[in-house]
Amino acid sequence: MTLLADDVAPRSRLARVGLLAVVFVCAACGLVYELALVSLGSYLIGNTATQASIVLAVMVFAMGVGSLAAKPLQQQAVTAFAAIELALALLGGLSVLALYAAFAYLSLYTQALVVVAFVLGLLIGAEIPLLMVLLQRIRKQEAGSAVADLFAADYIGALIGGLCFPFVLLPVFGQLRGAIVVGLVNAIAGCFLVFVMFRKSLTRTGFAVLSVAAVAVIAVLVAALVYADRFEVTARQAMYRDPIVAAQRTQYQDIVITERRIGSDRDTRLYLNGDLQFASSDEYRYHEALVHPAMADAVARISESGSTSPSVLVLGGGDGLALREVLRYPDIRPTLVELDRAMIHLARTDPRLLGLNRNSMNDPRATIVTADAFTWLRQQHERYDVIIVDMPDADESATAKLYSTEFYSLVKAHSAPGGRIVVQSGSPYFAPKSYWCIGSTLRSAGLAVTPYHVDVPSFGDWGFFLADEGTPPKLHLRAPGPMRFLSEAELSAAAVFPLDRQPLEMPPSTLMDPRILRYAQGEWATY
């Protein structure tokens, strides 16, 4: 009897360790599914805070429902757990693919997100009660001790899954393939528990049915993994009018370049996270209006004083088009700060962008810095005669901080005495609250502003703010050569706003209260 007891105890401990290892893996997979939904939403829709709130709230609620729903399944815990894990692996693995398809083809992303998050939460919530039953079968122990073991494995697994998602899965596999890989891991872990550790608890029929289901789920996930890249290309193209000629998903954004022929010309367009950044047919209107009014006063002042050429800082503008306009001035040595290294590489190597930016990103006069503009400004002390803020619109949480009082205060601190600051500010026609909010935010940072707007056909009516620390600066030109669009007359007209688009008194946007984000998302949602 002693020998038998000694023999059983190690086996019991080994089985317990195996089950807790499965709990660890399942917890890691479950958290990755949550993070994948949040991450996808931030890419496709923006507003990470809203996406996270929807996913977490729905999933946590559904997990509670799933825990209750698992009560009647405890009599058939092994079979129920196997079915739940296979369903969870299939849905979790294909969740990103399904939601991307809903966004690209059906425009039903938010509705589909709620459904997917609820079902995933339901399945995840049913795991723990069933695993508790299986743990008790392996080794009789007090409920408190069993719960402690189970939740310890669960929480540690969640930690590993949470760290693996941004540092391993996204960089190595990307969004689509990463979720599918996790689904495969989830399926294999569930199969190990059922078919290896609890094989004797299954009837012959049950074993056969679950075996077929497991093979089918794994086969579907493997097929999805093989065809994921092809699907992504097809789905991405469905979202754009023109053929995609280059695409890359980085850790910061989704970069897409499209191109179509218009007679003998080509219209090249750059999109970041689905938002149009420029069209080659009229980008010169935007960039001439952005750069040259800010350069005029600095060039004139420095020329009159006989000092060196103005120092210029470009924040954003990784496509190199604003830098192209800056480099038209002689003896300029500008600095450009861009967050995404991949965007810089494209601007330096893609023949379409090189033709448009005139190789500005490879110009030896320019210093290109890869950094977050907010962080970089906090670490620098140099002052500049001209600062050009050419950031994407503030319709995402990540960019809203670049339209805050705190950010503009940093920009102001780096402006030389008498220097000029210009900020691209969106459309005063389509998004007037957002536009005038930027003006009030600049004023809250201690800057005097002059609003102006021009017509850019690809964007519509588009606005800017010219700012300095004294009185509102005047708009005029000191062009380094012939302009394609901008003139003194055009610039004078740009300062006039029609009666139906008069200035609005808006509160400023701050880091703690990013009003600009709410305004931008609300106003652009109707277009």
Query: pLDDT per residue over 408-448, tens digit each?
Result: 999 999 999 989 999 999 999 999 999 999 999 999 999 99
Q: Is residue 371 part of a domain?
A: yes
Its domain, for residue 341, covers: 282-524
pLDDT at 144: 76
Residues 477 and 337 in one domain: yes
pLDDT at 13: 74
Q: Is residue 54 part of a domain?
A: yes
Reported as a single tens digit per residue, the pLDDT across 493-508 is 999 999 999 999 999 9
Residues 286 and 235 in one domain: no
- Give the neighbor-by-neighbor strand order of the sheet with 415-424: 367-370, 335-338, 312-316, 384-390, 415-424, 460-468, 448-456
In the annotated binding site, the residues are: 253, 287, 319, 338, 372-373
Reported as a single tens digit per residue, the pLDDT across 151-204 is 899 999 999 999 999 999 998 999 999 999 999 999 999 999 888 888 888 888
Q: Is residue 16 part of a domain?
A: yes
Residues 234 and 286 in one domain: no
Q: Is residue 248 part of a domain?
A: no
Q: First CA to last CA across the chain, in angstroms?
A: 79
Residues 235 and 294 in one domain: no
Q: How many helices (H) and strands (E) does the chain have?
A: 17, 11
Whether residue 461 lies in the annotated active site: no
The residue-averaged pLDDT of 376-389 equals 96
Q: Does residue 354 have a pLDDT over 90?
A: yes
The residue-averaged pLDDT of 120-134 equals 93
Residues 228 and 291 in one domain: no
Q: Is residue 180 part of a domain?
A: yes
From 390, 393, 461, 468, the catalytic residue: 390
Could you give the CA distance from residue 31 to residue 304 in angstroms, rounded to a whole number? 63
Percent of the chain residues topping a pLDDT of 70: 96
Q: Is residue 178 part of a domain?
A: yes
pLDDT at 72: 93
Using 50, 70 and 90 to split pLDDT, how confident is the model at 324?
Answer: very high
pLDDT at 212: 96
In the annotated binding site for S-methyl-5'-thioadenosine, the residues are: 253, 338, 372-373
Asked if 229 contacts 260 with a C-beta cutoff of 8 angstroms, the reply is: no
The phi-psi region of residue 347 (left if phi > 0; otherwise alpha if psi is between -120 and 50; otherwise beta) is alpha
pLDDT at 297: 81
pLDDT at 8: 42
Could you give the CA distance from residue 299 to residue 399 in angstroms, rounded to a whole number? 30
Could you give the CA distance from residue 344 to residue 336 in angstroms, rounded to a whole number? 10
Asked if 415 contacts 383 with a C-beta cutoff of 8 angstroms, the reply is: yes
Q: Is residue 163 part of a domain?
A: yes
Q: CB neighbours of 507 closer than 8 A, spacing ≥ 6?
A: 437, 440, 515
Q: Does residue 12 have a pLDDT over 80?
A: no
pLDDT at 303: 67
The DSSP letter of residue 500 is G
Domain end: 205, 220, 239, which one?
A: 239
Using 50, 70 and 90 to split pLDDT, how confident is the model at 321?
Answer: very high
Residues 103 and 184 in one domain: yes
Residues 211 and 344 in one domain: no
- Give the neighbor-by-neighbor strand order of the sheet with 275-279: 244-249, 254-262, 265-272, 275-279
Could you give the CA distance from residue 373 to residue 380 in angstroms, rounded to a whole number? 10
Residues 93 and 41 in one domain: yes
- What does the block give as tokens for 56? 């977490």
Number of domains in the chain: 2
Could you give the CA distance from residue 139 to residue 79 in angstroms, rounded to a whole number? 19
Residues 517 and 434 in one domain: yes
The beta-strand segments (E) located in 234-381 are 244-249, 254-262, 265-272, 275-279, 312-316, 335-338, 367-370
- What does the block give as tokens for 285? 């209107």
477: domain CATH number? 3.40.50.150
Reference 332, options 381, 294, 376; nearest CA is 294
Query: In DSSP terms, which residues pair with 247 in a beta bridge?
Result: 256
Reported as a single tens digit per residue, the pLDDT across 51-101 is 899 999 999 999 999 999 999 999 899 999 999 999 999 999 999 999 999
Using 50, 70 and 90 to split pLDDT, how confident is the model at 11?
Answer: low
Could you give the CA distance from residue 412 to residue 442 in angstroms, rounded to a whole number? 9
What is the overall mean pLDDT for the chain? 91
Residues 231 and 330 in one domain: no
Domain end: 207, 239, 271, which one?
A: 239
194: domain CATH number? 1.20.1250
Could you give the CA distance from residue 189 to residue 196 in angstroms, rounded to a whole number? 10
Q: Is residue 500 part of a domain?
A: yes
Packed helices 405-413 and 432-444: angle between N→C axes, nearest 10 degrees: 50
In the annotated binding site for spermidine, the residues are: 287, 319
The count of other CB atoms within 10 Å of the CB of residue 485 is: 15
Percent of the chain residues topping a pLDDT of 90: 75
Residues 345 and 196 in one domain: no
The residue-averaged pLDDT of 474-483 equals 91
Domain end: 239, 272, 301, which one?
A: 239
